[in-house]
Amino acid sequence: GHKQDRPIELLPPEVLQSDAFKLNALNSNETAAAKQKKMDMEDIVVGYKALDGWKNEAEGWNGYNPFIELITPENAEKLGVPTYFQIINKSMSLDEIKRKYKEKEYLACAQPYAEFKRDVELIVSNAKEFNIEGDPVYGFAKEIEKIFKKSEKERKKRRNL
């Protein structure tokens, strides 16, 4: 065969150590990482849309989704959860996920999708920790969790993971 058909480890040392070779190897790695990030960002959009599309069917809630607005020390009382930060360390919401996506915070992470997944799991765990089982919001958290798990399965199928 031709010289370029040889596996990398058979290339002579002077080629392996050349700047052109190293630069090319670096670029191909960077491209793989960039491709992975692009796919992660696409997966975040799909996952977010699945969660954002959840409709609250519970009676008396008028379709209100308690996971959209970020609970802060300033609005906790107004939202009817004045003791929230006595129990929850870090608040998370769909609005906060949307903000992190738009402001490219996920893109800045080494693994954007893993960070997004942690944020979704934080929404669920916060709701389950703050509310008691049997409370509507606890039940809504379980619904959101189910939707996300389904979205995760579809992602794994789509990405052959």
> pLDDT tens-digit profile of 99-158?
999 999 999 999 999 999 999 999 999 999 999 999 999 999 999 999 999 999 999 999
pLDDT class of 13 with cuts at 50, 70, 90? low
Residue that the structure tokens 């608040």 belong to: 91
pLDDT digits 0-9 by tens, 40-52 = 999 999 999 999 8
Tell me the angle at which helices 112-130 and 94-102 cross, rounded to the nearest 10 degrees: 160
pLDDT digits 0-9 by tens, 67-99 = 999 999 999 999 999 999 999 999 999 999 999
Q: Structure pTM?
A: 0.81
Query: What is the longest distance spanned by two Cα atoms in the chain?
Result: 74
CA 2 to chain centre: 45
Long-range pairs, 34-37, Cβ under 8 A, ≥24? 37/107, 37/112
